[in-house]
Structures are given as C-alpha cells and as structure tokens.
Amino acid sequence: MATISSVRITPDEATVAQNLGLLAELGGTWQGEGFNLIARPDFQGNEPLYLQLNQTHETLKLDPIGSSIPNRGFGQDDIELFGLTYLQKISDAATGGALHIEPGIWVTQPATTYPPEQPPEYGQIVARMATIPHGNSVLAQGGATKFSGPPVLTAGQAQYSFSVFPSFNSTPFAIPPGKPLTLNAAGSSEKLTAPALTPPAPPFTEYDLTVPDSATNPRTPFGTTEPPLPSAINGVPMQAVINDPIKILQSTIEHQIADGYTFEGAALNIATQRTVNFLEQPNKPEGPFSVVDVTDGAGGIENILFLEGGEPAGGVGPNAQTSLVYATFWIEKVTRPGREHFMQLQYAQMTILNFGILKAPAAPILGWPHISIATLRKSFS
C-alpha cells in the first residue's frame, strides 16, 4: 500500500499538470460574454414571477492547487485528489451591474473500490464545489472525457455534442408530490406547453415576446435602466434564445466552423444527482420521458433556512429553493491552419429553483429553470 506523505511539497508545473489530467487546461484566467435567464418570485410586484434576462460579461480565474489533497480511507486505501480553486465574477454587459460571484474548487479523483466508483471510459471522475452568496452550497460530481470535433452542435434529436444532457430548456414544469423532477425537451416553449397540460394551464406570458413587458407582465428590461432586448443574439432570434439559451453557444461554434476552425479538448459533465429525467418531445408535458444516468453523478445542495422555508401564511412553501444543478463545460483548443490556436471555454448550466405561484397558493410547487451560458477565451492575467 502506497503511503501518502504528511509533508506535501508542490512539485514542478509539468507534474502538477499531469496530476490534474483533463482539468489541467482549466488553469488560468478566462474572459468573455454570455447570457443568463432566471425566473424569480415577484412578491413586491404582486405578480407570479419576474423573468430576468441578462447579456453578461464574465471573468473566471482558476489556480492549480500544487500539492495533493489526501482523502483518508477506512474501507479502502487512502486516495489523493488534485484540483484548482476558482473565482467566477459575472456582470451585466449593458450596465456593468453585479450579477454573480462564486468561489469554488474543481477536483479530480481516482477510481475507488469502497464505494465502487469508476470514471467514464478514457476519462476521469471530477467534482465541482461551489459557494453562492444567496445562501447555497453546491457539490456536483460527474466525469471528464476527451473529445475531437465540433462541440455544442445539435446532433440528431436535440442532443448536444459531448454533453450527456439532452435539454437546457427554460420552460417551467409542475413538481407532483413524491415524484422526480422531469424537465422539458429542447425546443419547448411556455406558450405551447401550458395548453398541452391536462387540464390546460394559462401560460406565463413573460416567456412570450409577442406580449410586451409591463407591470403585469414583468421581464427585463421592465423597471430597469437596461436597453430593450435585442431582436437576436449571435444571429439567434430572441424568442429562441429565451426557450433554449444554449443556441447562442451553438451559433458561436457554427460561425467558427464556417471560418475553418477545428476543435479538440475535454468535456466535463456534472450533476448534483445521479439521474435526471427529461421529456422526449417538445411541448409534450404529459410524456414520454427518458432517464439520463450521469456517470459518477452525485452530490447535493444545501440552502440557508430562508430558502428552505417552511409554510408561510399562504401555504406556498419555500421562497425559492435550489433543488438541482447540472452542467456541461467544454474546454476547447480551437485551431485554424496558418494561425495561432487559442483556448476557449464554453459552458451551459441548469439550476432548478422551486417556488409556488403567489396568486394561486393552492397550486403545486413549480420548477423554474435558471440557465447560464458563456463563451470565454483564456486571456492574459
């Protein structure tokens, strides 16, 4: 049995990179643009929700942890983790206003026998630990695998290249008591999904751009100094962006392919639970659905008491409880003949917030997708 020394001295950079494996290229400073969509309760406005939409600017800085991180075993030998610390800062691209700050750690771990855990084929077990100032701590685990070819392009029925998740769709969904979350299929729209429910439900028109934003239909930019929403982002019509923000990433890759670029790198697929349910067809909320088994997916979310809630006077439940996080990160080496290659990082992240409808206290708790995407380049730091 190999013994992990109690004195952990940082080795040379090549050894540090080797220990990190597929996470090695994460190290450095990344900057770029993205998009954020979140439905949040509008208690003060006496409306069911406010749909907040932001084009974003992001800086993500990751620093390798030089030494190993020993995890002491009891059912098996000790293991060593290797990782990077990070600090993510996201601001609104129009106003510069703060939107998000997140310190955290990425780690990779070896296979284990107790409990039995194996990485994906030719890959590694990875985990992300994040702390969010709203009062959430997130642990999302999964796998890292190599890829070669265009990432984030639709292949077949709404499946994104090198991602295990078939949908990053924004349409909210009911959470029947005692049943698992089931997310809407890619391409769904709130406008078409609500009438297909049994019985039909009135749609949340904040998601429908044919209905102007107003005090009774609040979405960005209503009540803010932000400019009106553009008609399109990266050539993607704004309604399609609202339904499936990942289309912005797809558009970026399509333009780069048209310019002659090629891609290789690593894809990181993580989730706070092992399985996630997805409806198989757009705007078919009654099913059928499929179950995605996330290799090495595990973890969980802890919320402060304000978010966990209790039973307020209206009987609605928690304020806005975070219940699920899953994400795909694509670490991309982008190459074009005759030019210097560059490093690009793209990600799509889904966070589900659970809260009820303020104007209908007897209604079920709904799952509200909060989606963040970005395309970043490794920059001088």
DSSP per-residue letters across 332-376: EEEE-TTS--EEEEEEEEEEEEEE--TT-TTSPPEEEEEEEEEEE
Residue 7 covered by a domain: no
pLDDT at 358: 57
CA distance 120 to 163: 13
Whole-number Å distance between alpha carbons of 286 and 274: 23
Please classify residue 200 by burial: count the beta carbons closer than 10 Å to its beta carbon, then call 0-12 exposed, 13-18 middle and 19+ buried: exposed
Q: Which structural domain, as residue segments, surrounds residue 182? A: 13-379
Name the burial class of residue 239, with classes exposed (0-12), middle (13-18) and buried (19+) by CB atoms within 10 angstroms of its CB: middle
What pLDDT score was predicted for residue 41? 84
**Of 210, 252, 249, 251, which is closest to residue 231 (Cα–Cα)?**
210
Q: What is the DSSP string of 177-238?
A: TTS--EEPPTT--HHHHGGGSSS-----GGG-TTSPPBTTB-BTTTTSSSPPPPSEETTEEH
User: What is the structure's pLDDT at 314?
Assistant: 46
- pLDDT at position 143 is 97
Question: Is residue 5 in some structural domain?
Answer: no
Per-residue tens of pLDDT for the chain, all 381 residues: 567 777 878 888 899 999 999 999 999 999 999 999 999 888 788 788 899 999 999 999 999 999 999 888 888 888 899 999 999 999 999 999 999 999 999 999 999 999 899 999 899 999 999 999 988 999 999 999 999 999 988 765 457 999 999 999 999 988 877 777 899 999 999 999 988 887 788 889 999 999 999 999 999 999 998 899 999 999 999 999 999 999 999 999 999 999 999 999 999 999 999 999 999 999 999 889 999 999 999 999 998 888 776 555 444 456 778 889 999 999 999 999 888 999 999 999 999 998 877 555 555 678 899 999 999 999 986
In a domain, 319, yes or no: yes
pTM: 0.94
pLDDT in the model for residue 362: 54
For position 164, what pLDDT does the model report? 95
Cβ-based burial of 210 (10 A; exposed 0-12, middle 13-18, buried ≥19):
exposed
For residues 231 and 19, what is the distance between their CA atoms, to the nearest angstrom? 46
How far is Cα 134 from Cα 102, in angstroms, rounded to an integer?
10
- The conformational region for residue 48 under phi > 0 = left, psi -120 to 50 = alpha, else beta, is alpha
Residue type, 341: H
| Residue 1 domain-assigned (yes or no) | no
317 closest CA partner among 132, 193, 206, 175: 175
The CB density around residue 243, as the number of other CB atoms within 10 Å, is: 25
Whether residue 110 lies inside any domain: the answer is yes
Q: Is residue 2 part of a domain?
A: no
Could you tell me if residue 8 is inside a domain?
A: no
Token couple for 95: 């106003």
Count the domains in the chain. 1
Q: Give the residue among 209, 203, 210, 191 at the shortest CA–CA distance from 53.
A: 209
CATH of the domain at 36: 2.40.128.20
| pLDDT value for 356 | 76
The answer as to whether 209 is a domain residue is yes
What pLDDT score was predicted for residue 364?
A: 66
Asked if residues 234 and 56 have their Cβ atoms less than 8 Å apart, the reply is no
DSSP state, 26?
Answer: G
Comparing CA positions, the residue from 20, 19, 267 lying closest to residue 145 is 267
